[in-house]
Amino acid sequence: MKLTAENIKNHYLILIIKLSILSLFIVSLVRGKIETSVYWNFVAETESGFENYLNILKETSFYRPAIILLIPLIGIFINKKISWILIQSYFYFLISNLAFSAKFIDLTDNTLILINIVGFLLLLLIIILMNKKKISNLIYGIGKAELISKNVIASVIGLSITIILALIKGNGI
């Protein structure tokens, strides 16, 4: 592949997306650790052994975002078709989670409505960028004919994660 300004731009786009996923993973781990420390202060458990962490994972949802972020995190380290699907499935998960949680929005809160619309449009932009020929074909090797089927697989994975989380929370959809 010849190194041109357009190729460099596309590599920067995918690098920004991958670094964003990695940053989100690190932040969610740190947040989970902080919430665990606060939880232990209230429960009066001072030990931080492996068994206590397993109990925290079982009883709370402090590390749930980090566990979900493992899906695209695996995808950012390999440049194959499956990695594209894993990364895309995370963005489809975010969109479906945003759509399902929109039913709880107070329609009189314009700020919250605006934040949700901007978030939805930003996620849609990332999905569109990942579907560009320069990224999907040249970096991940997904041809135009395969793109629809790979998007369907990614969206089913993302939607499934949203449904599973909704059932775990007990909120229903």
Cα angle value 96/108/170 (rounded, 5°): 40
Q: What are the start-end ranges of the E strands in 69-120?
A: none
Report the domain count for the chain: 1
**How does pLDDT run across 35-60, given as a tens digit for each residue?**
888 877 776 555 667 777 777 777 78
* pLDDT tens digits, 9-36: 667 888 898 999 999 999 999 998 888 8
Task: Give CA separation, 63 vs 53, 102, 155, 161, in Å.
Answer: 10, 23, 23, 15
**Residue 150 pLDDT grade (very low, low, confident, very high; cuts 50, 70, 90):** very high
Residue 74: give the domain boundaries.
5-169
pLDDT (0 to 100) of residue 65: 86
Kindly tell me the sign of the dihedral angle through the C-alpha atoms of 85, 91, 94, 100.
negative
| Element spanning 163, H or E | helix 144-169
Instruction: Kindly state the tokens that stand for 169.
Output: 């929370």
- Indicate if the pLDDT at residue 172 is higher than 50: no
- What is the Cα gyration radius of the chain? 19
- What pLDDT was estimated at residue 13? 84
Averaged pLDDT, 124-144: 87
* Amino acid occupying residue 46: T
In the predicted structure, residue 8 carries a pLDDT above the cut 50 = yes
